[in-house]
Amino acid sequence: MSEIRIGLIGGGWMGKAHTTAFHNAKMIFGDDMPVFEIVSDVTEDAAKAFAEQMGYVRYTADWHDVVSDPAVDLVDVATPNCMHYEMAKAALEHGKHLLVEKSITLNSRELDEMMQLAEQNHLILAEAMTIWHMPLYKKLWDMLRGGEFGKVQMITVNFGSFKEYNMENRFFNLNLAGGAMLDIGVYALSVVRSFMDEQPNQIISQWKPSPTGSDEQATILLQNPSGQMATVALSMHSKQPKRAMISCETGYLEIMEFPRADRAVFVDAETGKRTEITCGESKQALYYEMTDMEDAVQNADASAMQLPYSKDVMDIMTKLRKDWKMQYPEEQW
């Protein structure tokens, strides 16, 4: 494929961020790729304004036009979580490679169906999850595989936002798939899964619902068959640091601002010596996502997109919400 023609669904701030990152990727891949073919937004005027600002050839107020457009190779879904499944499924059914903003779906049933469609149609399916693509994490995973830290024993992750109690916004509104799990928990659990040797099989939790019934805060304990353990604390109305601590046999890694981290500190267990490990730039997080996605489509190799990890994380999140009996309106488990 000499060029990738992109169709974007969703002209909000995330759609703009994705497009900007794809623009930056052009500096790597050449002037003839990618091509910004068509964008859809909630109104034609909004779509037109976005297209003119961000360089899309055409625009529409109907997202169906994007997924059915024969000129489009890759559909980028940058809409609220509650809309992902219908749009993503339609794109795959029309033979489009697909990048979906996190969380990729509401639940495991939806993701399983999409993965089956992608496999049947020989398509790249991926979640736009920064952690899979940050150079720092790739470096740390390589160092871990090389034995530099010893085996991972325990992981602790915190992520808390202070969102105002507006029950109509996407953070709390069940009709918009609100709640901590799909908004910030997906980051925390992605870090956990990426540093574990295998999927956790023992999961327990406590949670507190918001006035709408969405998950406002939760504490989660996880353990896998290898004995590796993790603790995750999430909150939507209580600020916490974005902090991950990876405890290994020879010391521990501390990663601040972990969703887009470019720096970690390793503390030696015996000497207490602190060693800084740096790689990449946090401000380029979406650029790393988009270049990996373009590579995947160009080379028909989805390995860098880490879909199996996304699947494992979705299975954990689905189990937890089932335990809590927190089901979104019209959602089918």
Comparing 11-25, 146-160, 303-317, the range with the smallest average pLDDT is: 11-25
Q: What is the mean pLDDT of residues 129-153?
A: 97
Place 223 in a pLDDT band, splitting at 50, 70 and 90.
Answer: very high
Maximal CA-CA distance, the chain:
63
Element (H, E) at 196: none
Percent of the chain whose predicted confidence (pLDDT) is above 70? 97
Q: In the predicted model, is pLDDT for residue 26 greater than 90? A: no
Q: If 0-12 CB within 10 Å is exposed, 13-18 middle and 19+ buried, where does residue 118 land?
A: buried
Tell whether the torsion through CA atoms of 83, 87, 88 and 90 is positive or negative: positive
Q: What is the pLDDT of residues 57-66, one digit of tens each?
A: 999 999 999 9
| Mean of all residue pLDDT scores within the chain | 95
Q: Which domains does the chain have, with CATH numbers?
A: 5-129 (3.40.50.720), 132-286+313-324 (3.30.360.10)
Q: In the predicted model, is pLDDT for residue 169 greater than 60? A: yes
Q: In the predicted model, is pLDDT for residue 3 greater than 90? A: no
Which pLDDT belongs to residue 36?
95
The count of other CB atoms within 10 Å of the CB of residue 5 is 19
Query: Which tokens go with 226?
Result: 């290898």
Query: Which tokens go with 304?
Result: 């860098």
Integer Cα distance of 82 and 45 in angstroms:
23
Strand 5-9 relative to strand 35-40, pairing: parallel
Place 29 in a pLDDT band, splitting at 50, 70 and 90.
Answer: low
Which pLDDT belongs to residue 23?
86
